[in-house]
Amino acid sequence: MTVIQPRIYLASKSPRRRELLRQIGVQFDVLTFRGGERGEDADVDESPQDGEDVAHYVERLALTKAEAGMRRVLWRKLTRQPVLAADTTLELDGRIIGKPNDVDDARDILRCLSGRTHRVLTAIALSDGTRTRSCISDSEVRFRALTEADIKHYVATGEPMDKAGAYGIQGRAAIFVEEIRGSYSGIMGLPLFETAQLLEVFGFTL
């Protein structure tokens, strides 16, 4: 007798999050928004609110994306299954750092991170239309001092442009990282320990 594994929707276009879900054997379908993940849907406004701290910000976005994703499941009359969403951002000196706006912004971000320790927060949220739950992974990453040549070469690869903090720890930026404290998968964009725990709350067995 064949056992049919339950599925979820992943409200993200991130190839890294897809890879991480596959790593722990989660069956999923990608649920896309009109303009991708960021900014163009009225119910997914990613602008920080006045005085909002980074933990509240990242969790609010993950919850908003999960709930917006579930609304799309209902609007589109898709098969009813839970929606998993995530958001990753960096914090340095109280400043929220998301994806770079352009090449110059990516260079500026990397200069700020050079030789310093920053926080990487990833919030995940899961909604089944009746209940929504969330949690946060909070890690620290220390970069070695970067030269202007390091920054120029890395930005020229194009890798920083779609990533929070203008780098991907699983990519070429790994050579910049002196130390991490916390969740490697959380720094990548989907903390697997917290994801597994959240799925178990909703009845999934991994």
Q: Which residues are catalytic?
A: 87
Q: Which residue has the tokens 């991994």?
A: 206
If we measure between CA atoms, which residue out of 164, 200, 183 comes closest to residue 20? 183
CB 182 within 8 A of CB 138: yes
CB 32 within 8 A of CB 10: no
CA–CA distance, 2 with 86 (Å, rounded to integer): 31
| Buried b or exposed e, range 96-130, using 16+ CB within 10 angstroms | bbbbbeeeebbbebbebbbeeebbbbbbbbbbbee
- The dihedral formed by the CA atoms of 75, 26, 191 and 70, expressed in degrees to the nearest 10: 10
Amino acid at 99: K
CA–CA distance, 149 with 131 (Å, rounded to integer): 49
132 forms bridges with which residues in the sheet?
A: 127
